[in-house]
Amino acid sequence: LQLDRTETAVNNLNPAFAKKFIIDYHFEEVQKLKFALFDQDKSSTQLYEHDFLGEFSCTLGTIVSSKKITRTLLLGNGKPAGKGMITIAAQELSDNRVITLSMAGRKLDKKDLFGKSDPFLEFYKPGDDGKWMLVHRTEVIKYTLDPVWKPFTVPLVSLCDGEMEKMIKVVVCYDYDSDGGHDFIGEFQTSVARLCEAQDASPLELECINPKKQKKKKNYKNSGIIIVKSCKITRDFSFLDYILGGCQLMFTVGIDFTASNGNPQEPSSLHYINPLGTNEYLSAIWAVGQIIQDYDSDKMFPALGFGAQLPPDWKVSHEFAINFNPRNPFCSGVEGIVQAYSACLPHIRFYGPTNFSPIINHVARFAAQATQQETASQYFILLIITDGVISDMDETRHAVVQASKLPMSIIIVGVGNADFAAMEFLDGDSRVLRSHTGEEAVRDIVQFVPFRNFRNV
């Protein structure tokens, strides 16, 4: 499928094309791209009418992780197309700025004869149809004419479409009603550029106007003052920002070799490699690894095992290199992990128990070292593939809570048909994970995926 074409650079052996290709970026997908260059000799739009100069294929992830790449142009047979080179650069187009506002009110109109107002603010921007569209509502402050709202943050795109001079409307209401029938105090229009004039030492004051009162009363001044105590615009850095900034993903695999997996020589075992050369463990390694490898420049990945007895003394290990080289557990690319996995199976004895904490702590040690650097240059991802219930749950919970403070995430893939309730517990999507001592995780770093849900995808 052809995505787009550049303009034609006339009589130029070193063209710099002005045309930009806009592509939706999806980290979780392998997005394959091919760039083909042609020498235009005719006015025809058919490519076969022009001379083919060479091509280059890669993934979008490769370009994004490098920010700019230069590669040799190849012929259709994979051989170099002379001395021709191609340089490709990537840039994020989305506006990730956010605006943080700290606002208060003074002497707002009293709306209740027997009490004070319960004011809140609503922010609107003009929609495509010309009507005002609600984009943010503050909390309600009870029983006051001089409210002070909590600071709040809104994406700049949501508030004003990223256009600093675009007019927005702020409505001051009281007595919140879930059906939208709030009582109106007043309003004003302004722009983000105007709001940005507010500073901590010099707040911005804006009059709140009630148009009906303004028409009826000759001496009407306002319905109160809205004070912008501070206004700050910052960037809410995205995953892509970090990658384009040079952050590398450090990928580690942890593989469950406990006895519950079954004898790998028997077809019933989850570790049995079928005639097609695969099993659920290998499928999970390929599925995650082929995505992440584009974001690691050297593509050298540690591959660790746990729950097996190792030669020559057959002691149980919960943190061993599957290439049997503890000083250098790195495998070259996903292919290297697959080769090391296949080679180690005949030389170990499946045993137990199913302990996660040693491998989590192993990766966490390296993640902790990365925090000593001045730049966010490394982020660690641990893929744990397992078939059963965690034996060291207290230790694992503690390890995850401590790791949540570090540049690290954990993907747990459950293979087979076991009960994975404990894995769902570690995945803090619905609740904050706590260690057995009660300490809360700083953030949710665990994602559990049951492989059976994607077995036939």
Q: Exposed/middle/buried for 63, CB within 10 Å: 0-12, 13-18, 19+? A: buried
Structure confidence at residue 81 (pLDDT): 93
CA distance 419 to 424: 10
Q: Could you tell me if residue 100 is left (phi over 0), alpha (psi between -120 and 50 degrees) or otherwise beta? A: beta
| Per-residue pLDDT tens over the stretch 423-447 | 888 886 778 899 999 999 999 999 9
CA distance 94 to 99: 15
Structure confidence at residue 115 (pLDDT): 66
State the DSSP code for 121: E
Confidence of residue 48 (pLDDT cuts 50, 70, 90): confident
What average pLDDT does range 49-69 have in this prediction? 91
Give percent above pLDDT 90 in the chain.
Answer: 67
CA distance 55 to 38: 9
Tell me the domains of the chain and their CATH numbers.
1-93 (no CATH), 97-235 (2.60.40.150), 247-454 (3.40.50.410)
Phi and psi of 27, rounded to 5°?
-55, -35
CA distance 159 to 149: 18
Phi and psi of 324, rounded to 5°?
60, 25
C-beta separation of 255 from 341 below 8 A? yes
Tell me, yes or no, if the pTM score tops 0.75. no
Residue 87 pLDDT greater than 90, yes or no: yes
Residue 89 pLDDT greater than 60, yes or no: yes
Structure confidence at residue 176 (pLDDT): 61
Residue 179 pLDDT greater than 60, yes or no: no
Question: Which residue blocks in 247-356 are alpha helix, DSSP H?
Answer: 280-292, 333-344
- Name the residue with tokens 């760039």: 35
Structure confidence at residue 456 (pLDDT): 57
Structure confidence at residue 457 (pLDDT): 52
Confidence of residue 213 (pLDDT cuts 50, 70, 90): very high
C-beta separation of 174 from 205 below 8 A? no
Tell me the C-alpha to C-alpha distance, in Å, between residue 22 and each of 68, 89, 193, 314: 16, 12, 29, 56
| Per-residue pLDDT tens over the stretch 362-398 | 999 999 999 998 887 899 999 999 998 899 999 999 9
| Per-residue pLDDT tens over the stretch 12-33 | 889 888 888 989 888 878 899 9
